[in-house]
Amino acid sequence: MSETAPAVERWLAWRYLATRQREGFVSFIAIFSLIGVALGVATLIVVLSVMGGFRQQLLGRIIGMNGHIVITARDGMVRATPELLARLGAFPGVTAVRPVLERQALIASGGQTRGAMLRGIRPEDLRRREIVAHNMAVGDLAGFGAEPGVVMGERLRLALNAGLGDKITLVTHKLNENGTISPRYTDYSVLGSFLTRRFEYDGSLVFMPLAMLQDDLEYGNEAVTSIDLDIADPSQAPRMADEIRKSLGRDDLKVAHWLGLNARFVGALQVERVLMFIILTLIVAVAAMNVVASFTMLVRVKRGSIAILRTMGASPRTIVRAFFMSAAAVGLVGTAVGTALGLLVCANMPAIGALLSQITGAAGGGAAEVDFITSMPVRVQAAEVATIVVVAIVLSLLAASYPAWRSTRIEPVEGLRHE
């Protein structure tokens, strides 16, 4: 009997799930409970994957323009000596070392004047900046460093009415020997413009060759405002920043990392992600409550059959397992279907985003921010999907436990009395 018990329990579970004339309404609820679990799981996967994609792009634009670790002076300028740059480049995990010189300036062109942030950088370092090199809207970086020219944000270029090759005038200041400040005017050509779809970069940032900016500002060839470091694993930036700080042992230098410099923004994204996971999990929880309701009703409807099985020698354990298997099957199948549906939607999200753009009229020629939203970036993380599946399975099994327990409360005499 013990060898055939699992087969009997599976047969009973299937019979309880099968639609019957009297219990058709219960089975109807069970089907919609399965659909609810599937939609809840799919929604969790899709929403969290899209949020992960947006988060990755936003963080990529923040740290893509700056270093993962930034070294500045506590007072004045940093002396980027060859020895210091070589020492930083030899540190384990560091993939790039970039001396940077920044100054505010006014830019005049085409009768327009705008404020801008000048950033002096070595030509080879700018060409390695994928966020700039891969997002050139006009021109290219081939002539950067070979001639007096600048590369600026596309929004700034349009605001100045400057075309490719046009002359622009940079207005900076210099300190005279008598302590007064006088303006300094320098002409440059527009070599190109980039479009990162981040307003503060596209609307104000201007790249210049580091040596040229140092000469214009009459600084030495080692004077910079910061040294940016790229590392292999950005998530390890706090640990590596602390190690670099201890290794340098210099009180005149400050070592910061991108997580600390953008703590509020990163923290807000993390809180939003956790809250969205909790809120969307309630969808699965509601579907699980439907499983409880439908199979509790099924237990009441089947009390006569349960009583007959008990009088024929079926143990309470057999009845419990049969109902548990039938209720759990709804949740497990719903979880599997929802996972497949969610991954399918994520795989086709670019096409879905394009369709939504056409429906809403945002396709083609939209603003950079609109294009960023309608691009529907997706980042599916295996650990995140596994967490969703585990949570859905746990909720489904908990939902299946109560109806199974209720089936043991029916006594054969009481069950047969109502038949």
Domain assignment present for 234: no
Q: What is the pLDDT of residues 274-328, one digit of tens each?
A: 888 888 888 888 878 877 777 777 666 666 566 666 566 566 666 667 777 777 7
**To 10 degrees, the CA torsion angle through 260, 262, 267, 268?**
170
Residue matched to tokens 């080692």: 222
Mean predicted lDDT score pLDDT of the chain: 80
pLDDT band at 191, cuts 50/70/90? very high
Which phi and psi angles does 218 have, rounded to 5°? 60, 40
Domain assignment present for 345: yes
State the average pLDDT over residues 203-226: 89
Q: Are residues 88 and 45 in the same domain?
A: no
User: Above 50 in pLDDT, residue 213?
Assistant: yes
Q: Are residues 188 and 304 in the same domain?
A: no
Q: What is the pLDDT of residues 28-41, one digit of tens each?
A: 767 777 888 888 89
pLDDT band at 377, cuts 50/70/90? confident
Q: Are residues 159 and 52 in the same domain?
A: no
- Sign of the Cα torsion 244, 63, 59, 142 reads negative
Domain assignment present for 241: no
Q: Which residues pair with 360 in a beta bridge?
A: none
Supply the pLDDT for residue 250. 84
pTM equals 0.67
Looking at 203, 224, 245, the residue that finishes a domain is 224
Q: Are residues 382 and 269 in the same domain?
A: yes
pLDDT band at 131, cuts 50/70/90? confident
Supply the pLDDT for residue 269. 81
State the average pLDDT over residues 192-215: 89
| Alpha helices (H) along 82-148 | 82-89, 123-128, 130-133
Domain assignment present for 109: yes
Q: What is the pLDDT of residues 134-168, one digit of tens each?
A: 889 888 888 888 888 899 999 999 998 888 888 99
Terminal alpha carbon distance of the chain: 28
Buried b (16+ CB within 10 A) or exposed e, 287-307: bbebbbbbbbbbbeebbebbb
User: Above 90 in pLDDT, residue 99?
Assistant: yes
Q: Are residues 413 and 270 in the same domain?
A: yes
Q: Are residues 191 and 321 in the same domain?
A: no
Helix axes 24-65, 382-407, angle to 10 degrees: 160
Domain assignment present for 253: no
Looking at 224, 255, 278, the residue that finishes a domain is 224
Residue ranges making up the domain that contains 167: 78-224
Q: Are residues 14 and 84 in the same domain?
A: no
Q: Are residues 272 and 383 in the same domain?
A: yes
Helix axes 382-407, 316-347, angle to 10 degrees: 150
Q: Are residues 166 and 295 in the same domain?
A: no
Q: What is the pLDDT of residues 330-362, one digit of tens each?
A: 788 888 999 999 999 888 887 777 776 676 655
Domain count, the chain: 2
